[in-house]
């Protein structure tokens, strides 16, 4: 383990991942999402069944997440790719370029509505100015996906663990209460349980993180190397 722990944000800005994370999270285009939601909601139907919803390449759908959260999984191996928090519009990329390799798992107490892709396209054709809103939302999602991949597309387990800890500490409190640090990391990576546990133990012993009953409560200046 390298570096000395500092209170979060007190160290010099040499943490590229966390710096990028802090530039993206506060700039979620919530006003734009709300405006596009208002246009699409009259065409939407509330999803009441709690089953998973797979993206279909043949019949694309757009989801309006009004409350709570949903998890986006990779179909091939069920890897949890990201957790999406309300308010958000999900499925715009699939609408424009259907692939159908992911599915949504609805978290408890979420409120989500679905709109047929054909109705979304019709609305966009009727109101071309809404395409600017679509592009802003897609840009935000692209930045977030690129940030996620930044710490996953390498062979270093610690980079993945470090990235997920920073994600978790920036997540809503309800997520930190629902997920232990181990479970959060294990569901979102392909790392072995023993590898994650050892790293968490070392970080806690070194004073880099604080946990209570397995739940992450505080992150200090995490070392760049392990």
CA nearest neighbour of 88 among 27, 28, 175, 174: 28
Report pTM: 0.81
Confidence of residue 7 (pLDDT cuts 50, 70, 90): very low
Per-residue confidence (pLDDT) for residue 53, from 0 to 100: 82
pLDDT tens profile 62-81: 999 999 999 999 998 999 99
**What percentage of the chain carries pLDDT values higher than 90?**
63
Ordered strands of the 45-46 beta sheet: 45-46, 111-116, 61-67, 88-90
- Taking the CA atoms of 204, 194, 71 and 134 in sequence, report the sign of the dihedral they define: positive
Q: Please give the average per-residue pLDDT across 169-198, as a whole number.
A: 94
The SS3 assignment for 82 reads strand
Write down the residue that tokens 């392990």 correspond to.
226
- Taking the CA atoms of 21, 22, 27 and 28 in sequence, report the sign of the dihedral they define: positive
CA atoms within 13 A on the CB side of 59: 5
Dist CA 103 CA 65 (whole Å): 14
Token pair belonging to 123: 């609305």
- Cβ atoms 89, 62 nearer than 8 A: yes
pLDDT tens profile 96-145: 998 888 999 998 889 999 999 999 999 999 999 999 999 999 999 998 88
- Cβ atoms 109, 66 nearer than 8 A: no
CA nearest neighbour of 89 among 124, 125, 109, 61: 61
Per-residue confidence (pLDDT) for residue 20, from 0 to 100: 72
What the chain holds in terms of domains, given with CATH numbers, is: 21-151 (2.60.120.10), 154-219 (1.10.10)
Q: Is the pLDDT of residue 12 over 50?
A: no
Beta-sheet pairing, 111-116 with 61-67? antiparallel
The SS3 assignment for 3 reads coil
- Cβ atoms 63, 104 nearer than 8 A: yes
Q: Is the pLDDT of residue 24 over 50?
A: yes
Confidence of residue 4 (pLDDT cuts 50, 70, 90): very low
Q: Is the pLDDT of residue 9 over 60?
A: no
The SS3 assignment for 215 reads strand
Token pair belonging to 72: 């986006």
Per-residue confidence (pLDDT) for residue 14, from 0 to 100: 64
- In sequence order, the β-bridge partners of residue 64 are 89, 113
Per-residue confidence (pLDDT) for residue 212, from 0 to 100: 96
Per-residue confidence (pLDDT) for residue 203, from 0 to 100: 97
CA nearest neighbour of 47 among 104, 123, 100: 104
Dist CA 99 CA 221 (whole Å): 39
């Amino acid at each position: 383990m390298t570096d000395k722990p500092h209170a979060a944000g007190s160290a010099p800005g040499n943490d590229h991942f966390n710096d990028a994370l802090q530039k993206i999270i506060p700039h979620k285009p919530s006003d734009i999402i709300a405006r596009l939601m208002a246009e699409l909601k009259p065409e939407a139907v509330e999803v009441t069944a709690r089953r998973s919803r797979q993206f279909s390449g043949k019949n694309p759908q757009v989801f309006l997440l009004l409350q709570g959260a949903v998890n986006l999984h990779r179909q091939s191996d069920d890897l949890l790719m990201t957790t999406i928090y309300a308010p958000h519009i999900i499925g715009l990329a699939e609408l424009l370029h259907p692939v159908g390799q992911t599915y949504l798992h609805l978290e408890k107490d979420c409120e989500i509505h679905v709109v047929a892709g054909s109705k979304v396209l019709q609305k966009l054709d009727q109101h071309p100015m809404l395409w600017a809103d679509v592009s802003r939302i897609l840009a935000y999602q692209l930045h977030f996906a690129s940030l996620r991949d930044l710490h996953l597309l390498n062979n270093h387990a610690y980079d993945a663990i470090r990235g997920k800890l920073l994600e978790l500490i920036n997540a809503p409190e309800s997520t930190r209460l629902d997920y232990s640090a181990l479970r959060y990391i294990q569901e979102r990576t392909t790392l072995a349980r023993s590898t994650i546990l050892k790293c968490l133990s070392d970080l806690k012993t070194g004073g880099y993180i604080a946990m209570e009953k397995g739940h992450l409560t505080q992150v200090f200046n995490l070392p760049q190397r392990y």
